[in-house]
Amino acid sequence: MRISDNKTVRAAGVSGAAFDTVAIHGCAFDDPLSGSVNVPVYQTATYGQKEVGVAPAYCYSRTGNPTRTALERQLAALEGAECGLAFASGMAAINNVLNVLQSGDHVVAGQDLYGGAYRIFTKLYAKFGVTFTFVDTTDPANVAGAITRRTRLLWLESPSNPLLRLTDIEACAGIARRAGVVTVVDNTFATPVLQRPLDLGADVVVHSTTKYLAGHSDVLGGAVITRDAELHEPFKFFQNAVGAVPGPQDCFLVLRGLRTVGLRVERHCLNARRVAEFLSAHPAVKRVYYPGLTSHPQYALARRQQRDFGGVVSFELGDDVEAVKRFGSGCRLWTLAESLGGVKSLWCHPPTMTHASVEPEVRRGNGIRDGLIRLSVGIEAADDLIADLAEGLDRVASAQAFVAHQESGSCVSRVRREGAELEEACVAGEVSG
């Protein structure tokens, strides 16, 4: 399955155009001064006003900036929406949505989700009286069973971080809608190239634009996108009131990244599929998590819900941190780092990095064991990436073989020792008899 089918999306000025066309033309921005083919960086904090009491289009860059406006239009267009807001980070976007909650409200969320989201849920909003229930959203019945009369939001990640579990967005959004609950989907891993949650019934989409949308690991950003003007209004209010907005240079960098996101994600997916197949065949690897493998329990859902399987692959080296360290010592092209979605391949150890803020017992209960590694597969040559992984994994395999040999030798020695002792006992018995 390829993603170059370019499903059409709605966007101002390019209605009905293919995705890659909208990625370049979707912001519908014209520079009135010079006719620049790129959106200029409006590096200004404030704007001159012509008359007292007459609100201009722009008055202060926390409230609005032309470069940010172009980015927000583009982000909305790619998700097939009308309303988009840009933020200084993915966490700022998550916080913006949570700002609408009040004490006593309840949120149902997936149990396998980004550690930063879990942290802001349980360490910040919980102390203000917001309650959270974490369930396995791979089964819609769990979602239905967790919703109460106080539930305001259903928070989903699909694929999830870091175990790449999928949620049937259409089914769960339908359950939420019938209960009057707003469905929020973090679409960072899939991107609108592969999946548009609003088309599946979700109400709100959030992104860390730091990842695939910007795509070069050189800028932080976030987004909140919806088709519902009534939901957008409070989001816009809190964007201005809280002020966690991106600067114009950051907006420019994300806009630049959006122009090539379709091409990049296609290459990410091609490389990730090959990496996942390689890992599945390596003896040092205990388990591989990738929706594009037929062994993935939700492979059929992935084919139905997404246009390809994504650029993240996770795998386990047992439950051994030392094995993880040995793996890392053999890698040269893969960099140990936080984040994902950039052109350069990265690997991370979720238990000590992205999910370190999750309590160990909760983390392990959700299936995130100490031997888990998450790969952000870049766009380098797949053969080179696989050869580099092989170097790291061969070190793990060698260590495993050495331990097995030592244990086997100890067993043989023990058998020999016990046999000698038995023989001595028998001889002593015959003499005494």
> Is the residue at 217 inside a domain?
yes
Q: What is the pLDDT of residue 91?
A: 98
Look at the alpha carbons of 77, 249, 94, 370 in this order and tell me if their dihedral is positive or negative: positive
Structural domain boundaries, residue 359: 263-395
pTM: 0.90
Domain CATH for 124: 3.40.640.10
85, 218: one domain: yes
Q: Running DSSP on this structure, what letter comes out for residue 197?
A: G
50, 148: one domain: yes
297, 389: one domain: yes
195, 321: one domain: no
> Is the residue at 24 inside a domain?
yes
For the annotated catalytic residues, the residue numbers are 62, 114, 186, 211
79, 209: one domain: yes
194, 308: one domain: no
Tokens 């984040």 belong to which residue?
Answer: 339
Element (H, E) at 85: strand 83-87
Last residue of some domain: 259, 274, 306?
A: 259
> Is the residue at 1 inside a domain?
no
Last residue of some domain: 395, 411, 428?
A: 395
How many residues comprise the chain? 433
304, 288: one domain: yes
> Is the residue at 12 inside a domain?
no
Q: What is the pLDDT of residue 29?
A: 76
> Is the residue at 433 inside a domain?
no
CB distance 340 to 365 below 8 Å: no
Q: For residues 433 and 424, what is the distance between their CA atoms, to the nearest angstrom?
A: 14
Question: Measuring CA to CA, which residue among 272, 395, 277, 289 is closest to residue 345?
Answer: 272
CB distance 396 to 317 below 8 Å: yes
Last residue of some domain: 240, 259, 278?
A: 259
Q: What is the pLDDT of residue 271?
A: 98
Number of folded domains that form the chain: 2
Q: What is the mean pLDDT of each run of 10 residues along the chain (433 residues)?
A: 39 72 85 88 96 94 96 96 98 98 98 95 98 98 98 98 97 98 98 98 98 98 98 98 98 97 98 98 97 97 98 92 95 97 98 93 93 98 98 91 68 52 56 44
248, 387: one domain: no
Domain CATH for 346: 3.90.1150.10
269, 182: one domain: no
List, in order, residues 6 or more apart from 286 with CB less than 8 Å away: 315, 316, 317, 318, 371
> Is the residue at 411 inside a domain?
no
Q: What is the pLDDT of residue 11?
A: 45
141, 24: one domain: yes
Question: Measuring CA to CA, which residue among 88, 105, 192, 220 is closest to residue 154?
Answer: 105
115, 130: one domain: yes
Q: For residues 127 and 123, what is the distance between their CA atoms, to the nearest angstrom?
A: 7
249, 322: one domain: no
> Is the residue at 5 inside a domain?
no
- Cα 347 → chain centroid: 13
> Is the residue at 428 inside a domain?
no
Apex CA 154: angle with CA 151 and CA 156, to 5°?
160
Q: What is the pLDDT of residue 319?
A: 80
